[in-house]
Structure 1
Amino acid sequence: MSETRSTVITHDSHVAGEGPVLTIGGEPQPGAAGTYPIHNPARPAEIVGHAPAADRAQLDAAVSAARRAAPAWRALSVAERVAALASAATTAAEQLAARDGARLYTREHGKVLSEANFEISTGPAWRR
């Protein structure tokens, strides 16, 4: 395999305006293998964004960072983990709502707009 792809962070997440980034070990960085297009499934010729493409070294770095973080995560109580995930879900939903994320979600995934709005507005509750 020549490259490994990740779409963890795609839109509006940029390092000094250079384009979409990966977050590895808590640090944003551009994909070393460049980017690849995200197509609208309803209109495959339409590119709705770009995602960063990690190379093998970035993949190895991400796996190493996850392994280093695992003991601290494991040491948290269930309540602390629930709180952390709920906070992340709330933040993600707020950011998507602020950026009209439902329309983006619809274009990226082919969902109907009402379903995308529902998922964004209720997502944090599903993680509690």
Structure 2
Amino acid sequence: MNMFASAGGVVELWVTKTDHYTSKTTGEIYATVQSIAPIPEGARGNAKGFEISEYSIEPTLLDGIVFQGEPLLCKFASVVRPTKDRFGNITNTQVLVELLSVGKEVYATAPVSRPAPSQPAARQAQQPAQDKPADPAKS
């Protein structure tokens, strides 16, 4: 008995891309989502920044993910089950099977909109170029 086939959980992801394709031989539809997540400090030696991960997903769930110009926070129920990739290899893979929520705000203290850059800072950047005197001696 494969003990991993029934394991499941809840996964919260910043989804950045959805994709799907149909197998020409079997007609089966395969779907994936790509997400971005910060790398936890100390997780992989000295790695810093963000990592991109790709997950298999039930194709019917893609309709619930509608982008509006930025990554979308989604919460999924997932299970680990044997899946066949496009090359015919079978592996135990985490598959997203249910879309629990879409687009909830996670940072309650963060401002919703970014403040516009101040006008004086923009003028200071332009001012040195404008203040240079023209040298009439050069011809």
- Using the size of structure 1 for normalisation, the TM-score is 0.23
Quick check: which has more Rg, 1 or 2?
Answer: 2
Structure with more of its chain in strand, by fraction: 2
- Using the size of structure 2 for normalisation, the TM-score is 0.22
Structure with more of its chain in helix, by fraction: 1
